[in-house]
Amino acid sequence: MRSFKGTLKKIKWETYIWLMYLPFSAAFYLPVRSWTDYFWLMMMGAFLIVYILVTEVPKWRRVTIPLELLITGSFAVWPLNFFMITFTAWQVAFILSTMPRRYFGWFLVAYYTLLGAGVVHSFQTNPTSGVEYAMNAFGLIFPVLSPIMSYGFARSVQIRKQMSQNNRRLENLIRRGERDRIARDLHDTLGQSFSMITVKTELAQKLLEKAPERVPDELRDIAKTSRANLQLVRQIVADLHQQTLSEVLLEQGKNLAQARIFMFTEHEEAASKWPTEVQNCLAAVIVEAITNVIRYSRASQVWIKFNQVGENYHLEVQDNGHAKRLTRENANGITGMLQRVREQNGEFQISSNSIGTLVQVQLSKE
């Protein structure tokens, strides 16, 4: 039951909303009167299968996207059904919005070529019908504008999502500013006080002459304790100055944006409340992983997922790149990540999958 619910959550339902209009396109060929009606209904079934494959199997998109465009484009050229190609316009343009712009440019060239061929064929077959169809907004204007509208809408959604994530990070930075203030207060007050105690006890040790068999030992203990407390304060201040996950994600998000790579995160807000030592370790791993993505992966998207299961903290960094090798000579990035995780008695794994490269880290509360 849980696996079924998990499968339902993974389905990209927003992509299938457009299919609610598919029965209207099928109505053009119903009731069936000839073999051509059967043919185009079968083509519509093939389109539905390819549409699902484009959505659910990213690694096949180099084949399935052109195939879907050819299927829906054939509807525009021969039976002069310009509505079918708009399904591809909205779906594919939305997908390509997170990839380099040249892919969207290539898609537009192929899309408008097929659409133009359909318009030319419409005028050649029946000039009067072609003129009337061109005057219909949903007959021609909507298919022409669909890929541009879909691409612009998708980009605006992604920008709003990134802005929302940046706002949450800024809120965490404000809280971090309060922590910095506390760190300064600790250093300026307790640190100075403990230093003074140390100096006084050492001086008293030299001056006191009474009960020589006991006082010096007591004073040495006080001096030792005060030094330990001073060291503790310094360690607390140092820990407070460590980069949090929010700071690292804010900085790495800017680096990825400069490289034209989209970054998406899950459960980032919950992870910002994890223990400091866990955040420090995961932050260092993220920095190394993102550096490798920018330098070697040729990716256009990165997903960073945080999750807490029981007593364990999980991190996943997934890209959609095409790195040829996971390890390189004279490269210390993966080694550094592995060492940091092992210092925390955690587990580290890097692998290739159907999407790209996946980095996985697990740390325990102990």
> Is 88:63 a contact under the CB 8 Å cutoff?
no
How, if at all, do strands 357-364 and 301-309 pair?
unpaired
pTM: 0.64
Q: CB pairs under 8 A, 24+ apart, for 251-257?
A: 252/286, 252/287, 252/290, 253/162, 253/165, 253/166, 255/290, 255/294, 256/290, 256/293, 256/294, 256/302
Query: In this predicted structure, what is the pLDDT of residue 272?
Result: 85
pLDDT digits (tens, 9 = 90+) for 106-135: 999 999 999 999 888 877 776 655 455 545
Calculate the average pLDDT of the chain. Answer: 82
Section 300-324 average pLDDT: 91
pLDDT digits (tens, 9 = 90+) for 159-189: 888 877 777 777 676 567 656 756 666 666 5
Residue 360 has pLDDT above 90, yes or no: yes
Percent with pLDDT over 90 in the chain = 39
> Is 129:82 a contact under the CB 8 Å cutoff?
no
How far is CA 362 from each of CA 74, 303, 305, rounded to the nearest angstrom? Answer: 50, 17, 12
Query: In this predicted structure, what is the pLDDT of residue 210?
Result: 62
User: Distance (Å, rounded) from C-alpha 350 to C-alpha 297?
Assistant: 13
Question: What would the two tokens of residue 330 be?
Answer: 């004279």
Three-state secondary structure call for residue 317: strand
pLDDT confidence of 137, banded at 50, 70, 90?
A: very low
Report CA Rg, the chain: 31
pLDDT digits (tens, 9 = 90+) for 262-294: 999 999 989 988 888 898 899 999 999 999 999
- 293: Cβ contacts below 8 Å, ≥ 6 apart: 256, 261, 299, 302, 317, 319, 321, 357
> Is 75:43 a contact under the CB 8 Å cutoff?
yes
